[in-house]
Each structure stands twice: as structure tokens, then as C-alpha cells.
Amino acid sequence: LSLPVTMFAYFSFGQTGSGKTYTVNGPNSSSVVDWGVNYRALNDLFSISQKRNNSYAYEVSVQMIEIYNEQVRDLLCNDNYQKRCSTSQPNGLAVPDASLHPVNSTSDVLELMNVG
């Protein structure tokens, strides 16, 4: 059974000091109760994929970019080349030159977040 590719992106924006990082990541605590939106979504994603692994094969990858002052930068690549955006994709905006990193767990994603 082949399922269509599903892409997911989220971004947060707002005034400095408004609580974006706290909402997304939560406080500096390892308690599940204190997890932010990011950790909860990742945990659910990998939990569901594990429960369904007999029926479906999931491939999850991470791409992390920063758009600042009209420049696009790959946060997981050491090159300093500006990346280009493509709006010709059927699903909206894409950054085809940005690196894509396969992950298998929430901890894999968190390691990449520490890099980026």
C-alpha cells in the first residue's frame, strides 16, 4: 500500500520575548508534563508510526531553514550559500537546495535541533 507524501511544517513568529521558544519547546525540564508543542507532536508522530509499522512504512526527514531579512539559510548545513525558494511546487513553498536528514525517533530530531 502506497500512501501519498505528507509534508508538515510549522513556524513561530512574534515579538522578541513574547514566548515563542517557551511555547514550542517548553521549559528546560525533562518532565513530559512540561513538554512544549514540538516535543508533544514529535512524540505522537513516532508513537503512531511504531504502532502502524506492520501495515505502513514511514520515512520521516527533517529540514531546518531560517528566513531572515529575505535570505534563506540551511541551519543543518555548514555552507554559507544562500538557498533559493521555489513557489512552483504543488504544495506551496519549497527549498530544494536545503539538506534533508532522515530521522527515526524524537531524540534524532532533538539532536538536529541542537545543531540548528
Q: Which residues are annotated as a binding site?
A: 14-21
User: Where do the domains of the chain lie?
Assistant: 1-58
Characterize the bridge pairing of strands 65-68 and 60-62: unpaired
Question: Per-residue pLDDT tens for 15-49?
Answer: 889 988 888 888 876 678 888 888 888 999 899 98
- Residue 104: pLDDT over 90: yes
Query: How many Å apart are CA 116 and CA 112, to the nearest integer?
Result: 6
Question: Per-residue pLDDT tens for 63-99?
Answer: 888 888 888 888 898 887 777 777 766 666 778 888 8
Q: Which residues are annotated as a binding site for ATP?
A: 14-21
